[in-house]
Chains A and B, each alone.
Chain A
Amino acid sequence: MSLPALLRLLQLSDSAFPTGAYAFSDGLETLTASGTVRSADQLADFLCGQLAHGWGQQDAPACALAWAASPSELAELDALLTDLKLVRGPREASLRVGANLRRAALHLWPQDLADLPATRHHATSFGAVAAALGASQADAVTAYVSAYLLGRVTSATRLMRLGGLEAQRAARLAEHAAQTCIQAALHATADDLGGFSPLLDIAAQEQAGLETRLFQT
């Protein structure tokens, strides 16, 4: 990957990029509120579980597929994600973050993205924008998975008694699961999108009913 493309990919995946992703925990808040996740090691377990069975089985491969997709394939991928995301909160969060990412990217790189096909979800928008900015598929998916990990551990510092260094350690402990997830995503087909994460689905649905909450989902 060229140096300019790498710089753009790092900017696109940075937590400061204005996607609004910081407002969503997708059920992690419920798990911390219930005491299910309350230490760096448990946070690392949670992240590994999601990479192996949840988010990593759905959004990471969707990003990889979007990187190489035609406009009609992107529309099908978006429809697939909309249907697979049963829980309303994470479904709408993915759509909002996707729209925000597109808007910001089009503002920053209007010429490079002049022919950007329509996308709706975060995963498809990230994959399509990264491809248009010259990132390789493997680098795009790696950046996307890294952004997920670092976004979740940052959320965790607001939800738990967890310092920044311990949060980063949790992400470090998920490194092997992240590599496995990335490799699988790069070889996935649309039929592979799915997963098994019943306890996070339940937690994400319960999030709206928490007495006090920091995150929208």
Chain B
Amino acid sequence: MRPDTTPGQRTRTGILHLTFEEKRGKTVLARDQQKAPLMIIRPFELPCGTLMVFVVNPTGGVLGGDHSEIVAEVGAGARVLILTQSATRLQPSPSGARATQDIRFRVASGGRLEYYPERTLPFAGSAFAQTVRADLEDGAELGLSETLASGRVHMGERLAFADYRSRVEVWNATTRLYLDHLKLEPGQHTRAPGVWGDLDYAASGVWVGSGSVQHWPALPGQLACGHTAGGAVWLRSASRRGPELDRALNAARESLRAQVFGAQPLQVRR
């Protein structure tokens, strides 16, 4: 996906290529390429042995016309958690150009990659499109969740963005395990029952692993999970308040991680 900019317009392309491997029983960042405004904070190991990296964008947010490219490869036996340091603020551009982001993950057999970025905040007038594609070998594990706000809710700015698109695909060889194409152009019916009602936060996620889910996380009217046709675990959640959504999502995520991966809870200190 390329940013829809015109020649001469000043935009930024951030690049982050990360390769993780398992060496002597520990996950290490073997190679990396970073181009501003995308960079990472030095990786460190969590108590469970997972290597965590924070993706940082030190600027004021993603501007219309900006493009981000993130590629992460996880080798056999490696355990990786990728987070973002703060919410992604989607700023508009005077030209109305869309900001774009392409994320590619490749996970080898026996590897595990988890990607749980902070919330995306689409400011008034912003337009954003991203594609996320994960290619998993047999026996690879993946966890991914994303949360979206209706805008700068604390300032009373809601559903004022131009449009938001996020297409997430997970593949195992030629089999698509999961496909979610979230596309939202706010309009007079976005507050309809069944769509977003009077809520301002939404989350979605996918988990792939060898474990089976016996206890499905659920909160009536707020959170549900199930199996896709391809056998992945999907999650949907919606809430009136951000912290409420985070609590529900975190609890569901840890429950699914335990069941699908057999993993210990993540203990992340910010």
- Bound complex: CA A53 to CA B187 (Å): 9
Does A198 lie within 8 Å of B204, measured CB to CB?
Answer: yes
Known: A31-B193, A52-B189. A202 touches B183 (CB 8 A): no
- Bound complex: CA A194 to CA B182 (Å): 6
Cβ-defined partner of A84 (8 Å) among B181, B218, B226: B181
Query: A196 interface residue, CB < 8 Å from B?
Result: yes
Does A49 lie within 8 Å of B181, measured CB to CB?
Answer: no
When C-beta atoms are compared, the residue in chain B nearest to A95 turns out to be B229
Does A195 lie within 8 Å of B197, measured CB to CB?
Answer: no
- Bound complex: CA A53 to CA B186 (Å): 9
One of A86-94, A127-135, A155-163 at the interface: A86-94
Which residues from B are CB-within-8-Å of A83?
176, 178-179, 228-230
When C-beta atoms are compared, the residue in chain A nearest to B228 turns out to be A86
- Give how many B residues have a beta carbon under 8 Å from the other chain's beta carbons: 40
Cβ-defined partner of B193 (8 Å) among A51, A91, A192, A199: A199
Number of residue pairs spanning A and B whose beta carbons lie under 8 angstroms apart:
127
Does B194 lie within 8 Å of A46, measured CB to CB?
Answer: yes
- Bound complex: CA A135 to CA B179 (Å): 32
- Bound complex: CA A150 to CA B209 (Å): 42
- Bound complex: CA A49 to CA B199 (Å): 14
Which residues from B are CB-within-8-Å of A197?
194-195
Known: A50-B194, A83-B178, A200-B194. A57 touches B183 (CB 8 A): yes
Known: A86-B180, A199-B196. A52 touches B187 (CB 8 A): yes
CB within 8 Å of B: which of A1-42?
27-28, 31, 34, 36-37, 42
Can you list 22 pairs linking A and B with CB atoms under 8 Å apart? A36-B193, A36-B194, A46-B194, A48-B189, A49-B195, A50-B192, A52-B187, A53-B195, A54-B195, A83-B228, A83-B229, A194-B181, A196-B190, A196-B195, A196-B202, A198-B195, A198-B196, A198-B236, A201-B224, A201-B236, A202-B236, A205-B224
Knowing that A49-B189, A196-B183, A198-B196 are A-B contacts, what are 8 other residue pairs whose CB atoms are under 8 Å apart, sorted by A's residue number? Answer: A48-B189, A49-B195, A52-B187, A83-B178, A196-B195, A199-B196, A199-B238, A205-B218
Chain B: residues with CB nearer than 8 A to chain A? 165, 167, 176, 178-184, 187-197, 199, 202, 204, 218, 220-230, 234, 236-238
Q: Which 4 A-B residue pairs are closest in the complex by CB-CB distance?
A: A49-B192, A194-B181, A200-B194, A205-B224
